[in-house]
Structure 1
Amino acid sequence: MGVDVEGFIKDGYVVVRGAFDQATAAHCRELIWAELHGRGIGEDQPTAWPAHSHIDSLDGEPFTAAAGAPALTTAYDELIGAGRWTRGIDAGRAVSVRFPSPERANSGYHIEGSYGAAGGPYRCNVRSRGRGLLALLLFGDVGPQDAPTRLVSGSHLYVPEFLAPYGEDGTVSDGCYWRPSVLCRPVVHATGQAGDVFLCHPFIVHTATWPHTGTAPRMIAQPAVHVRDGFAIDGSDSAPVARAIVAGLEMAAQA
């Protein structure tokens, strides 16, 4: 059974429950803890835990297996197109660990960047050159109290009109490419069990949340699923990611 394509176009995300198995999730957590131990962060020293730790240096079969699980590769094919996305997704190089803490997260509402010059800021354009999806892989159980990522449902439809004037070169991706009223839309939080994965449209507006009032660190990866050459937005591209961009542009034209 495939993903809910029409729901993805409308809401900007789909959830693949149990995308990878519990053993793989546990192995990923072990490797993350090993890296944290090397940074002086001990599993048995919760009073010394920082608020957040970002890890961009992990390799290994468990991370490859998680991001390349059959349920996910099938979903990538459905949402981007078979043969269009780039294999070898770097899940171990985009790990975010949030520890129990009242501290405010260091990022606000944003969309993900797609490409960038060496040493320069990430950029994006209306064709979503370079980025097919944002994936949120849950390596442990994440509940409402564990500072889950917040997704603004349908917000991806309000971004294309703001990116379109920048043309093929695009612009830096840390701007507010939506009307403020978009933040009044319904939200969903990326909660679930270890092995669940949220697949998000590149333009979905999202944010970290706080505080983390749970008892265990929240361990996720948020890698890009890259796409070759971006998407066509003249109506000829049948990929759901492209269809959502076109729907956003048409919505703006009719406003």
Structure 2
Amino acid sequence: MATLVQNDKPVTVDPLRHSAPLGAVLAFLGVARCMPVLHSSQGCAAMVKVLLTRHFRESIPLQTSALTEVTTILGSGDSLLEGITTVTDRQQPDLIAVITTGLVDACGEDVPRTLRLRSPRPPPVVLAAVSDLDGGLEQGYATAVEALIEELVLPRAGAAIDNQVTLLPGPALSPLDVEELRETAEAFGLRTVVLPDPSRSLDGHLDDDWEPLLSGGTPLSAVAVAGRSGSVLAIGASLAPAARMLAGGDAWTVPHAVGLDASDAL
């Protein structure tokens, strides 16, 4: 006999629009000349690309390892390495971000081992091991930021740069929100490192010519010195672990920047 379950939740969440890989792609798009590569089938990448293109009205750079039924079962490592080589030769990005999906997790692919088989040639490759089966957009975004910090930020050496602040904006902030936060910090005479920075890559600006990668975003040179800032501020509770990776117990975290109380705390 069927059981009727009544849901009192006042909102409906579309799981396709709230997936962890989508959040990871959103984070990597805030890094300058970064090419996200979804380790998935072509349909998964097409869905993410369409959703982000419609939302930001931007041409979103996104590639895929184009898994098929055969490669998924027999081993998808070769498809991933071939995809990275193709992206390197054609788009020539400064950074390649590999993002796993539920398809790869379900078949048990050892993606870190596959990436270790890649020849040591530029550009660097960052892996965000996220899954459609665990967490949503916010968790995928936070995992991507933590992967950037772990792989690209140089260890803190010497004294901190007192007039530099590192901002970690959460996925709930729009590009205009991030721009306002950066300009507010700069108004106090502070040099800001925003990681990631969608205010310069997804702000709707027009380039002189078409480029395969987004212009703007946080350059890798700025990412490298993010850990030397005098202060680290994360906007969003999910980014608290990433902030602690940079500044330990001295990191500041605010849940959001909406309302008078939150603005005063910020």
Q: TM-score range by the shorter chain?
A: under 0.3
Name the TM-score, length of structure 2 as normaliser: 0.25
Larger helix proportion of the pair:
2
Name the TM-score, length of structure 1 as normaliser: 0.26
Computing the radius of gyration from Cα coordinates, the structure with the larger value is: 2
